[in-house]
Structures are given as structure tokens and as C-alpha cells.
């Protein structure tokens, strides 16, 4: 068995580097540029009950060491996904995760129900960084009660492992991490993007068509790393770490902080092969450091001399 092969929630991964949601489309668009079978895993872009066209352009803006996006969760809708994308994805020899979002708990449940009827997925990732339209627009991801409601409702209808993707836009991550675990999450992933604003000083207008956007990329990495550490300390379920990972050493840092695997997002925008390169670099790191298996890194942070 290779140094990189690992697993979480009973899902076997050929390596611990997974392509993050929204950054490699449905995967299939990149089949010519990226050997999808060699990815540790692939999270497809977020799926909703009905198709969504997304936000007005411009939708992305490059910042120092990162980018702000406001795509508006554009997607084909879950029914078109299972009819048009899933059959090809199911043939891949990599773990494919469906990322699910909604604006009411019932929306999440409905998307999960539709996906449950089809083969080809390793598990789910719930994007809870959405405003709950039934509760005055409070984010599912910022209120432990709303988070518990949506996680337990989805958990009731799924048989596959359920990963809950937490938002970093909270003062303390631990109560949210615990609420997700107590409501039945099988794993956590974090972080999603940081709410951000870019302004054009000449026009005095936001640079993105929708105003605010989400900051991602290397700029967020140290904060993401801190939150992954805190979440991993707070729960017993596996934590998947992400936020600005661009090298094998970055991936190793997240695993040392407590992650069982990592996801790579923004790096795919400058090179869609980033997850494969990062997995190779992680392998070289393990070899140099005499670490037998990637999983041996997880949670090995030493805060004090011993
Ligand atoms: C253009 C773009 C689209 C995204 N779409 C989604 C999405 O559909 N669902 C989701 O959960 N996260 C989405 N994300 C968030 C990423 O999956 C990831 O959590 C975040 O960008 C931090 O990781 P990174 O710094 O490696 O990009 C998106 C990010 C970007 C940049």
C-alpha cells in the first residue's frame, strides 16, 4: 500500500488530496487536462433543488494572494446532475462527493433524497454557508440550532457518509463543530470562504456584480489552519481541512493540525492539476520525513517542547 493511501468514514482515498467544490466544475469538464482517476477525491460544485443561473458579472476578482468570488452557486440543479453528469462520474475510480446547498432545510433534504436514488457517489458534503430564508436570512453555518436542524434532517434520509462544511465567518468554530457532530455529521470539512469586499476606488463601486464575495486562496491559509486545529480538538469525527492549500507542505500542515485529508480549491484556477501535484509533493515530504503513512501526520501538532 502506498504512503498516501488513506480513508475516512470508510471511504478509501488513493491519496488525501481532494478537489474542492466549485473549483473544478463537475470534474468532467477537466477530463482532458486532469487525470481524474488519480485524484484523491473530487467534490462537485454545489447542487440545489432547482437550477440556478448565478450572480451578475463580474464574478471573480483577484486579490493579494487570493481571490474574491461571488458566483451565486450557479448549477444545473440536482435532477439534471443525476441525468447528465453522474453516469460519467460514477465510472471514475476516485471518490466523488456531491456538495449540497439550499435555503430551507427541506431544500437540502430534497437534494439528498434525489441523490440517494443513484449510484456513483462516495458521500455528501453539506454547504451550510447559505442564508436560511425561513429564519430571516440567518446563516445555517452561524447558528448551532439551525445547523443541527439541517444536519439531522439530511442525516435521516441518507445512507452515505455525511460531511458538513463549516463557514469560517463565526467568532468561535467549536460550538458549530460540536453541533454538527451531535446532529449526526460523519465528518466535517472547513473552511468555506471568508465574506469579503473589493472596491474600485475610481467608480466607488464594489468590484463584484453582487457586492460582497468570498475570499479564498493562500491569503486565508493561516486562519483556516487555526480553525481546522480548533475544530479537530472539539470533535471526535474526522476533519477535512482546506483554505489556501497550494503545496504538499501546506497539505502536511493541515494534517498536522488535525485533518484526516485536505481539499484544494483556488489553486485549481491557476493550475487544474494542482491536487495531483500537491499529492506528489506530500508523498515526497513523507518520504523525506520518514513518515510511513500520510495518516500518521494527523493531529501531531506539538505546541510545547517535550
Ligand atoms: C469560484 C469558487 C466557487 C466555489 N463554489 C463552492 C460551492 O459550490 N460549494 C462550496 O461548498 N464551496 C464552494 N467554494 C469554496 C471552496 O470549495 C473552498 O471552501 C474555499 O475556496 C477555500 O479553499 P481554497 O482557498 O483552497 O479555495 C467555491 C470557491 C470558489 C473560489
Tell me how far the alpha carbon of residue 193 lies from the centroid of ligand 1, in angstroms.
6
Q: What is the pLDDT of residues 17-41, one digit of tens each?
A: 999 999 999 999 999 999 999 999 9
Annotated catalytic residues are 130
Tell me how far the alpha carbon of residue 261 lies from the centroid of ligand 1, in angstroms.
16
Query: What pLDDT is recorded for position 182?
Result: 98
Alpha-carbon distance values, 184 to 147, 163, 168, 217 (Å): 11, 10, 20, 30
Residue given cell 485549481 in the structure block: 268
Q: What is the pLDDT of residues 122-159, one digit of tens each?
A: 999 999 999 888 888 899 999 999 999 999 999 999 99
Nearest CA to ligand 1 atom 31: 266
Tell me how far the alpha carbon of residue 292 lies from the centroid of ligand 1, in angstroms.
31
Query: What pLDDT is recorded for position 133?
Result: 87
What angle is formed at CA 177 by the lines to CA 172 and CA 178, rounded to 5 degrees?
105
Query: What pLDDT is recorded for position 1?
Result: 62
Of ligand 1's listed atoms, the one at least distance from the Cα of 189 is 19
Question: Quick check: 119 pLDDT over 90?
Answer: yes
Amino acid at each position: 500500500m502506498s504512503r498516501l493511501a488513506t480513508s475516512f468514514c470508510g471511504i478509501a482515498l488513493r491519496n488525501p488530496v481532494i478537489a474542492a467544490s466549485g473549483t473544478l466544475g463537475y470534474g468532467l469538464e477537466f477530463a482532458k487536462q486532469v487525470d481524474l482517476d488519480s485524484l484523491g477525491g473530487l467534490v462537485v460544485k454545489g447542487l440545489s433543488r432547482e437550477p440556478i443561473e448565478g450572480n451578475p458579472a463580474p464574478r471573480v476578482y483577484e486579490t493579494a494572494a487570493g481571490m474574491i468570488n461571488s458566483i451565486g452557486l450557479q448549477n444545473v440543479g440536482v435532477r439534471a446532475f443525476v441525468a447528465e453528469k453522474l453516469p460519467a462520474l460514477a465510472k471514475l475510480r476516485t471518490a466523488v462527493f456531491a456538495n449540497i446547498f439550499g435555503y430551507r432545510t427541506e431544500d437540502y433534504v430534497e437534494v439528498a433524497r434525489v441523490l440517494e436514488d443513484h449510484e456513483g457517489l462516495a458521500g455528501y458534503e453539506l454547504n451550510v454557508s447559505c442564508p436560511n430564508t425561513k429564519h430571516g436570512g440567518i446563516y445555517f453555518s452561524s447558528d448551532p440550532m439551525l445547523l443541527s436542524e439541517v444536519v439531522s434532517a439530511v442525516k435521516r434520509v441518507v445512507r452515505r457518509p455525511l460531511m458538513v462544511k463549516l463557514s469560517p465567518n463565526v467568532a468561535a468554530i467549536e460550538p458549530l463543530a460540536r453541533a454538527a457532530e451531535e446532529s449526526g455529521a460523519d465528518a466535517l470539512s472547513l473552511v468555506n470562504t471568508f465574506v469579503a469586499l473589493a472596491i474600485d476606488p475610481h467608480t466607488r463601486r464594489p468590484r463584484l456584480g453582487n457586492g460582497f464575495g468570498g475570499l479564498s486562496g493562500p491569503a486565508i491559509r493561516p486562519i483556516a489552519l487555526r480553525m481546522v486545529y480548533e475544530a479537530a480538538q472539539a470533535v471526535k469525527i474526522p476533519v477535512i481541512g482546506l483554505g489556501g492549500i497550494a503545496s504538499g507542505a501546506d497539505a502536511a500542515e493541515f494534517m498536522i493540525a488535525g485533518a484526516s485529508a485536505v481539499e484544494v480549491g483556488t489553486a485549481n484556477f491557476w493550475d487544474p492539476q494542482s491536487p495531483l501535484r500537491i499529492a506528489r509533493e506530500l508523498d515526497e515530504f513523507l518520504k523525506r520525513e520518514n513518515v510511513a503513512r500520510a495518516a500518521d501526520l494527523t493531529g501531531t501538532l506539538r505546541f510545547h517542547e517535550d
